[in-house]
């Protein structure tokens, strides 16, 4: 899908420095203000930036202030985009950065917003990893290996992956988890009449679910017994 780059432009549309001649609240978005200099449109910014930079009629805007306003506006747009995403579900910092890049936002601006959100606790890669691990185990019966692989693709640091997986699986009875998976697939496994092939089918299924081979081997005889009850 083609994206439109939203990098900060090099030059303002009006020669600077120039004095502000009007600040007009935008009709379609009351949170934004159009700034005019010498009766010409210069830039659209947030109400927050108007207050932060003490903008008012007659104030001179030079190239330096213009650059600050422009960057603040791009930060505001990325913030709004991230908040919309986070309002739907949790995201890792790497996922959000990739989303911003796909949207065409400058990486340095997206990174600045991500760091700010992390400081505020709105993005937390450990909480994300913990919730992902918990849900994939409880809802999909994934094992630690499969979860670990998935979290790596989402850019979660290895230490946080280990911490999340250990936090969840330390309280889990692996034997019980394997039993639930085998019972769920009992009819399918019983279609294989050859005991050795059935054993391999169960082993392969549990391995794909992300459980360590040594744990599966430890309980495979018990699991075969469940199938044959």
Which residue's entry shows tokens 């450990």? 126
Write the pLDDT tens digit of every residue in 72-94. Answer: 999 999 999 999 999 999 999 99
Write the pLDDT tens digit of every residue in 130-160. Answer: 999 999 988 888 888 899 999 999 999 999 9
- Nearest to 209, CA basis, from 135, 136, 130, 141: 141
CATH of 18-120, one of 1.10.20.10, 2.30.130.10, 1.10.10.10, 1.10.1740.10: 1.10.10.10
Which residues of the chain carry a pLDDT beneath 50?
1-4
125-169 placed in CATH 1.10.10: yes
In percent, the amount of the chain with pLDDT more than 90 equals 54
DSSP string, 50-117: HHHTT--TT-EE-HHHHHHHHHHHHHHHHHHHHHHHHTTS---HHHHHHHHHHHT--HHHHHHHHHHH
């Amino acid at each position: 899908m083609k994206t439109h780059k939203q990098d900060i432009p090099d030059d303002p549309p009006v020669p600077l420095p120039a004095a502000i001649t009007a600040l007009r609240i935008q009709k379609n978005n009351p949170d934004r203000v159009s700034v005019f200099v010498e009766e010409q449109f210069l830039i659209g910014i947030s109400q927050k930036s108007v207050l932060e930079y003490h903008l008012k009629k007659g104030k001179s805007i030079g190239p330096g202030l213009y650059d600050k306003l422009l960057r603040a506006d791009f930060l505001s747009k990325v913030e709004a985009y991230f908040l919309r995403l986070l309002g739907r579900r949790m995201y890792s910092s790497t996922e959000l950065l990739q989303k911003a890049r796909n949207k065409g936002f400058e990486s340095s601006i997206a990174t600045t917003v991500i760091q700010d959100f992390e400081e505020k606790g709105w993005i937390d890669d450990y909480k994300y990893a913990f919730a992902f691990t918990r849900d994939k185990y409880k809802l999909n019966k994934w094992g630690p290996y499969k979860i670990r692989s998935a979290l790596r693709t989402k850019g979660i640091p290895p230490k946080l992956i280990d911490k999340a997986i250990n936090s969840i699986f330390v309280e889990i009875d692996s034997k019980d988890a394997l039993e639930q998976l085998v019972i769920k697939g009992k009819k399918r496994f019983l279609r294989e009449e050859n005991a050795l092939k059935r054993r391999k089918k169960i082993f392969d299924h549990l391995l794909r679910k992300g459980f360590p081979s040594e744990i599966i081997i430890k309980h495979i005889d018990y699991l075969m017994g469940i199938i044959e009850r």
